[in-house]
Amino acid sequence: MQRAALRLFAHNGYAGTSIRAIAREVGLSESVLYAHFSSKQAIFDAVLAEFGPQGVATMTGRVDPDLAATDPPRYLRELVLAFLDEWDSADARLLISLITRDGLLHDPALRDALQAMRASVAHLLDRWISDGLIARSLGSAHDLALWFTSPIGLARILHLHADATAQERNGARDEILQHTETFIQVVFNSRTNSADSANA
C-alpha cells in the first residue's frame, strides 16, 4: 500500500493526491482505508516510515551486530553501505524527489524520523565513548552524531533523487563513503593522538 501511495504522491503531488485515489489504486474502499489510516497525513507518515530516514536499529539485521563491539570502524562502514543500498532504491529516491518538490522538508514526520536516526547514531557513539574507544574531548555523542549524519543526509537529498543519473548516484555514494572514512579516522584515532600528546 505504501509503495502505491508513494507513486501517487510523486506523480500528483501531496496536495493533488486524494484518499479516494489511493484507495482506488490499492483496490480498497475509502472506508476500509480509513479503518487503517486516519488521514492522508497518516498515509504519508507510513510512506515515510517505510522509505524515509531509517534508524540504525532498522539496519542492524543487515550488519553483523558483533562488529559494534569487536570492530566499530568496520561496523560503521557496513552500516553506511546498508543505508546506501536502501537509499539508492527507486522508491527511496522517488520519496526524496517528492519531499523536495512538494516542500515537505519541514514536515514534522520527516523531522522526527531524522531526529530518531541521529539519536540511534548518538547511542552507538555514546557506547564507544564510554568504552574508551573515542576521546570524550571530541564532544558529546550528540554533537558527533550531528557531524556524522548531516553531510550524509545532505548528499542523499542533493544526489539520490528520482532523476539522478548513474554518475550522480555513484558520486553521492563516493562522497558519503569518503565522509565516513574521514569521520572514522578522526574519532577512532583520537584516543591514540591524545595519548601521544600526553607522552610527548
CATH of the domain at 22: 1.10.10.60
- The answer to whether residues 108 and 10 belong to one domain is no
- The answer to whether residues 43 and 106 belong to one domain is no
- The answer to whether residues 153 and 104 belong to one domain is yes
Examine residue 200 and state whether it is found in any structural domain, yes or no. no
- The answer to whether residues 29 and 118 belong to one domain is no
pTM listed for this prediction: 0.79
- Residue 183 pLDDT exceeds 60: yes
Q: Which of 14, 29, 47 lies at the terminal end of a domain, its last residue?
A: 47
Of the listed ranges 48-62, 68-82, 105-119, the least confidently predicted one is: 48-62
- The answer to whether residues 167 and 103 belong to one domain is yes
Task: Cell numbers for 35, please give them.
Answer: 479503518
Examine residue 15 and state whether it is found in any structural domain, yes or no. yes
Please tell me the predicted confidence (pLDDT) of residue 51.
77
- The answer to whether residues 122 and 60 belong to one domain is yes
Q: By residue range, what is the domain housing residue 37?
A: 1-47
- The answer to whether residues 42 and 90 belong to one domain is no
Residues contacting 19, CB < 8 A, separation 6+ = 30, 33, 34, 39, 40, 43
Each residue's pLDDT tens digit, 55-66: 566 666 788 989
Please tell me the predicted confidence (pLDDT) of residue 197.
43
**% the chain with pLDDT above 70:** 90
How many CB atoms within 10 Å of residue 163? 8
How many CB atoms within 10 Å of residue 130? 11
- The answer to whether residues 39 and 69 belong to one domain is no
Examine residue 197 and state whether it is found in any structural domain, yes or no. no
Number of domains the chain is built from? 2
Angle at the Cα of 37 from the Cα atoms of 59 and 12, rounded to 5 degrees: 85
- The answer to whether residues 31 and 71 belong to one domain is no
- The answer to whether residues 1 and 85 belong to one domain is no
- Nearest CA to 124 among 61, 184, 69? 69
Each residue's pLDDT tens digit, 12-46: 888 899 999 999 998 999 999 889 999 998 998 88
Examine residue 188 and state whether it is found in any structural domain, yes or no. yes
Give the residue ranges of DSSP H helices in 60-163: 67-70, 72-87, 90-101, 108-130, 141-159
- The answer to whether residues 28 and 105 belong to one domain is no
- Residue 195 pLDDT exceeds 90: no
- The answer to whether residues 87 and 184 belong to one domain is yes
Burial of 39 (0-12, 13-18, 19+ CB in 10 A): exposed
Burial of 66 (0-12, 13-18, 19+ CB in 10 A): exposed
